Structure 1
Amino acid sequence: METPAQPQHQTQPQPQPRKRSWIPIVVFLSALVVACVACVALAVLMGRSVESTAESIHEEAVQGSGEWKIAIIPVTGTIQESAGGFTTSAATPESLKAMLDQAENDSKVKAIILEVDSPGGEVVASDEMYREILDFKQRTRKPVVVRMVSTAASGAYYISMAADKIVANPMTLTGSLGVIMEYMNFSKAADKVGISQVVIRSGEFKDIGNPFRDPTKEERQILQQLVDEAYNQFVNVIAQGRKMPTSRVRQLADGRVYSGQQAKQLGLVDELGNLDKAVQVAEQLAGIKNAQVVRYRHSVSLLSLLSSRLQMSTEPDAMKILRSAGYDITPRLMYIYRP
């Protein structure tokens, strides 16, 4: 009698220990490092400037290969105190000073050409740039020639008064000699949507320029006095720069724009021509020939770009639109051409 076969027990495979993956840990640590670096960079940007403007200037060869150099310094865009925030194209006193300092420290630079293409801008910034040019000339004795490009109006003409000579294209738009103060008035729109503003003030004129109401007669007089003072300063700067009687300047400074050709006939510019003409005039003033012409440029660093974007992100969209169009909700004195 056969013994029945005993069932065979199959040995179950033992689970292998799972290999630990280091990829998530590496990814986490990398993200942590990036976040820390970003926080440090943000703190630096918020606390101080991490990079001097002068270090970001480089030269571009334009023409010539002589021993001595003529440096072209661009003055492009709206003139304002700071270029950060709402615009990528602006001419500022800080930027101009940095380029003038570089030209001063370069012993081979014998003359400056300010390449002006601007409608003007803020009164204070224009005056600061004007005085920076005068100080540069006094310190270095290097001649300064202005080359007007498409537009060199109002505040841009103001700063040109510090130059030794002015060269304009016959079709350059210049002039617009005068001052403007403007601000937005939302009173009618506020009435339509039922918005009112409560103002508690320490004095009668503390909220002068309030955009939610019309200005009073007395407020208009106060603001007009400021405009008149800035206008008189503009007239005096032109009279000194062009060696022209103030009475004649006032005849010309009624706010209208002139072509380069008209400006030459009126004595507002010295020569008509392009860059070659400006170089020729600069060489004559400096007593040199066959100069190497270079153009200064600002290199935009990543940190300065991040700083600009940070400023933009903290400003309301409505304000960005108004500022990019050249308007503000608060009164500001402007040497600017409004087409």
Structure 2
Amino acid sequence: MTDPNRPDFPGSQGSNEPAMTDLWGAGGTPAAATSSAGAGAKPGWERDVLEKLVFSTLKEQRSARRWRNFLRLAWLLVVIGIAVVLFSRETTTTSKSTAHTAVVDIKGEIAAGNEASAEFVVAALRSAFEDSGSKAVVLLINSPGGSPVQAGIINDEIYRLKAKHNKPVYAVVEETCASAAYYIASAADDIYVDKASIVGSIGVLMDGFGFTGTMEKLGVERRLLTAGENKGFLDPFSPQSEQQRAFALQMLEQIHQQFIGVVKKGRGDRLKETPETFSGLFWTGQQAVELGLADQLGNVSYVAREVVKAEEVIDYTRRDNVAERLVKKFGAAMGAGAVQTVQSNALQVR
């Protein structure tokens, strides 16, 4: 042990080294802090600082709690708003509505899941026909075509509703009425177009790509396993035999004849058939009138005012509202997440 009374101990009378400073006062408080506090602070300053620190912490906690409550309330209001929009869809008709012209839009690609799907269009048509105030139904068309199945469902339903409610149906073409869109329009009593509209394209196609030559040049081997010799005949990486090509063409021809039959049924004697009529060509609205594919020039206002004699136009189109689009996107995201989870688990099992 070191003796502080030794002459060589630092700070002793016999030592040349400076004496060590006592950093702690008698009360356990650093000497520098004591001297500083004594020089410029009032007695009890430590308590004041501690109180300020505690109050500041409590204030921050209360602020954070209020912000969390606000966010929770905001999300609750959003969820309630979505639910209200979903379950209280605005209706455009009543059983005692005044005389008007009912309009149903058919816009964009005609396909399942789109606004121009058979599900949406048929629902809108039923509402329009069932309203006692609607004097006629106008199909407002601007579509390049789409699924022959969806178009066929809509076409059949138009004939059924016309017979049941004894109301006329008119088709009004905006920019385009081609392929499956014309399939639908042919069920109308009359077709009105703009002189620059695109009308026709009465045909069927099946498109795709073939990469077999490219794969051979790159030295890539396609390994496709099927049960059934024709199971993969539409695979773009496999060669297509003449038998498979003939089968596909036969199927397209059958659907094409169905299309031709629908057009002839709808247009009747008005159709001035030529070798190009059912070739897949399309024409301007003015040419379509000359060929009997359309009846005359006109728009929705003209048809409502001059043909239906009911100038008030009410839109019956069934559309996805904002809430439904959000729900669909959310569902798609959840589905993708579930698939990823399953795949991840499968990989872990392996």
TM-score by length of 2: 0.69
Residue 100 of structure 1 corresponds to 125
TM-score by length of 1: 0.71
Aligned counterpart for 2:64 among listed residues 24, 44, 52: 24
Work out the CA distance in 2 between the residues paired with 1:314 and 1:169: 45
| Max Rg structure | 2
Work out the CA distance in 1 between the residues paired with 2:219 and 2:102: 57
Deviation at 1:166, TM superposition (A): 1.1
Unaligned runs of 5+ in 2: 1-34, 337-350
Query: Are 2:105 and 1:74 aligned?
Result: yes
Deviation at 1:260, TM superposition (A): 1.7
Aligned residues: 285
Instruction: Report which stretch shifted further, 147-156 or 94-103.
Output: 94-103
Q: 1:67 to 1:307 in 2, by over 3 A?
A: closer
Query: Are 2:262 and 1:237 aligned?
Result: yes
Superposed CA deviations along residues 207-264 of structure 1, whole A, max 9, x for unmatched, are 1210212322111111111101100100111111112599947651011112222222
Residue 208 of structure 1 corresponds to 233
Residue 134 of structure 1 corresponds to 159
Aligned counterpart for 2:297 among listed residues 272, 296, 304: 272
SS in structure 2 opposite 1:166?
A: strand
Residue 256 of structure 1 corresponds to 281
Work out the CA distance in 1 between the residues paired with 2:219 and 2:331: 32
Q: 1:307 to 1:29 in 2, by over 3 A?
A: same
SS in structure 2 opposite 1:72?
A: strand
Work out the CA distance in 2 between the residues paired with 1:218 and 1:307: 46
Deviation at 1:92, TM superposition (A): 1.2
Work out the CA distance in 2 between the residues paired with 1:162 and 1:144: 8
Greater share of helix: 2
Matches for 1:170-209 after TM superposition, within 5 Å: 170-188=195-213, 190-191=215-216, 195-209=220-234
Aligned counterpart for 1:55 among listed residues 89, 98, 120: 89
Work out the CA distance in 1 between the residues paired with 2:300 and 2:146: 24
Residue 137 of structure 2 corresponds to 112
Deviation at 1:202, TM superposition (A): 0.9
* Amino acid paired to 2:89: E
Unaligned runs of 5+ in 1: 1-7, 60-65, 84-89, 284-288, 317-339
Q: 1:107 to 1:233 in 2, by over 3 A?
A: same
SS in structure 1 opposite 2:171?
A: strand
Of the two structures, which has the highest relative contact order with CA contacts closer than 8 Å and spacing of 6 or more?
Answer: 1
Work out the CA distance in 2 between the residues paired with 1:195 and 1:315: 33
* Amino acid paired to 1:293: V
Work out the CA distance in 1 between the residues paired with 2:90 and 2:199: 31
Matches for 1:5-16 after TM superposition, within 5 Å: 11-13=43-45, 14=47, 15-16=50-51
Instruction: Report which stretch shifted further, 244-253 or 68-77.
Output: 244-253
Q: 1:261 to 1:302 in 2, by over 3 A?
A: closer
Aligned counterpart for 1:306 among listed residues 291, 312, 326: 326
